[in-house]
Amino acid sequence: MPVLLRPLLGLLPLLLLPALLSACSGFHLRQPGSVTEVPLQGLAVFIDPAQMPDPTFVPVLEAALREDGARLLPAAGAGAVVIGIDRLEQDKTVSGYSALRQVKEFNHYIEVSFHAVRSRGVPDSSPERVAASVRAERTQLYDSRYVLGVAEEENGIKKALRAEVARLLALRLRRLMR
């Protein structure tokens, strides 16, 4: 048996050499500051407070846009993208029952319909308007024997869903504003 392995052991360093060289080459999939890392880099964005059904969503949306590299403006300016929220719906539904018909599972969701308007910079042209919606949902398991902490868990889920839908909105905005 060792006689059969000797030729293979001689090939082993030759097979491992390319793997070692590629590992030491410093290859990175993303460069710092690349388009995939900050997709909205330099995009001037104004969030219209008059078109915001829930003012508590503004800070979450601002944080997501900043994280994606957008430059937030205090007022709408020329060439800026103006974001308005048409509808923000956050609720929970029952999605599972036990054999005794007790609630065992809730499905929390948030759905945001929004529009974005960008002036083209040409005086007599109509502004570019796009509209879309994003949705995020999460399941909460409920056990009636362990009720303590359920409200805190629900609040944490709602907060996480708002952050997720704001992140999805920023991604959708990037796709729509190409």
Span 100-114, average pLDDT: 89
Write the pLDDT tens digit of every residue in 156-166: 999 999 999 99
What is the strand order of the sheet 128-141 is part of? 71-72, 44-47, 81-97, 103-118, 128-141
**Is residue 33 in a domain?**
no
What is the Cα–Cα distance from 54 to 178, expressed in whole angstroms? 28
Segment holding 117, helix H or strand E: strand 103-118
- Number of continuous H segments (helices) and E segments (strands) in the chain: 3, 5
**Is residue 55 in a domain?**
yes
**Is residue 52 in a domain?**
yes
More confidently predicted of 154 and 79: 154
* DSSP β-ladder status, 103-118 and 81-97: antiparallel
**Is residue 116 in a domain?**
yes
**Is residue 110 in a domain?**
yes
Q: Helix or strand or coil: residue 148?
A: coil
172 burial (CB, 10 Å; 0-12 / 13-18 / 19+) is middle
Segment holding 85, helix H or strand E: strand 81-97
Range of the domain at 46: 2-26+38-176
Span 35-61, average pLDDT: 84
Write the pLDDT tens digit of every residue in 82-95: 999 999 999 999 88
**Is residue 32 in a domain?**
no
Which of 45-49, 74-78, 173-177 ranks highest by mean pLDDT?
45-49
pTM: 0.70
Write the pLDDT tens digit of every residue in 4-35: 777 777 777 777 777 777 776 665 555 555 44
Domain count, the chain: 1
Place of tokens 């909460």: 140
Which of 9-13, 41-45, 67-71, 98-102 ranks highest by mean pLDDT?
67-71
Span 44-62, average pLDDT: 92
**Is residue 31 in a domain?**
no
Span 115-140, average pLDDT: 84
Q: CATH code at 73?
A: 3.30.160.150
pLDDT of residue 35: 46
